[in-house]
Amino acid sequence: MCGRFTLTTPADAIADLFALAVVPELSPRYNIAPSQPVAAVRERDGERRLDLLRWGLVPSWAKDPAIGNRMINARAETVADKPAFRAAFRERRCLIPATGFYEWKRTEATKQPYLVTAAGDGLLALAGLWELWKVPDGGRLETCTIITTSANDLVAPIHDRMPVILERHDFDLWLTPTTESDRLLQLLRSCDSSALAARPVSTYVNTPRNDDPRCIEPPGTSTGQP
């Protein structure tokens, strides 16, 4: 799964990678958690825009938005058919910028967090879906989910799942609303292991309210532990 990630890349670099017309105003985030606002790139009215969406997709037909707490990830193997995601997969896809994502490796004694980043410390583009839920009082709630797939050789020793990471040349294909499902499904695979790097980090990241540079420090550092 993908349950936490970081976004600390400068805003101008985000705008450049995703060809945004407007440079977003974003603060560095070191521990983005479910139910929080996340930055998402969408194709709207013929241009790419970055908007903040709540992490945890709420289907349009849901009676209670709390269902989004269970919808932070969509499995690539079933995303085209599962009722909660299939409409969004056809019509409402997005890209979620990330500097890195966390996974936890089980040991006999505990679970060790790891931070997975681009091998060259670049920006990652996670495949996502978004949805609109109409609040009973007339308001609007826009939410999103991250698509996951089987882990590659680098991530597999840590966790058996990882987010789908798209290459820049696939952005147009993914964001264009009219792209055929068969072509989209071909993109939903794990990226090459050589494109990523992974390292253990402090258990300070285990607490969602901790959101500062100590989250990405090595285990055992004096400032990195709670």
Active site residues: 2, 103
**Cα dist. 151→103, 123, 136, 188 in Å?**
11, 19, 39, 12
Q: Which residue's structure tokens are 């409409």?
A: 87
Cα–Cα dist 57/84, whole Å: 8
Q: Residue 12: enclosing H or E segment and its boundaries?
A: helix 11-18
Cα–Cα dist 175/179, whole Å: 8
Residue type, 145: T
Cα–Cα dist 128/146, whole Å: 4
Secondary structure of residue 112 in the 3-state scheme: strand
Helix ranges, 21-128 (H): 86-91
What residue ranges in the chain does DSSP mark as E strands?
5-7, 29-32, 37-44, 47-55, 73-75, 93-98, 100-106, 111-118, 124-134, 140-150, 161-163, 196-200
Residue type, 45: D
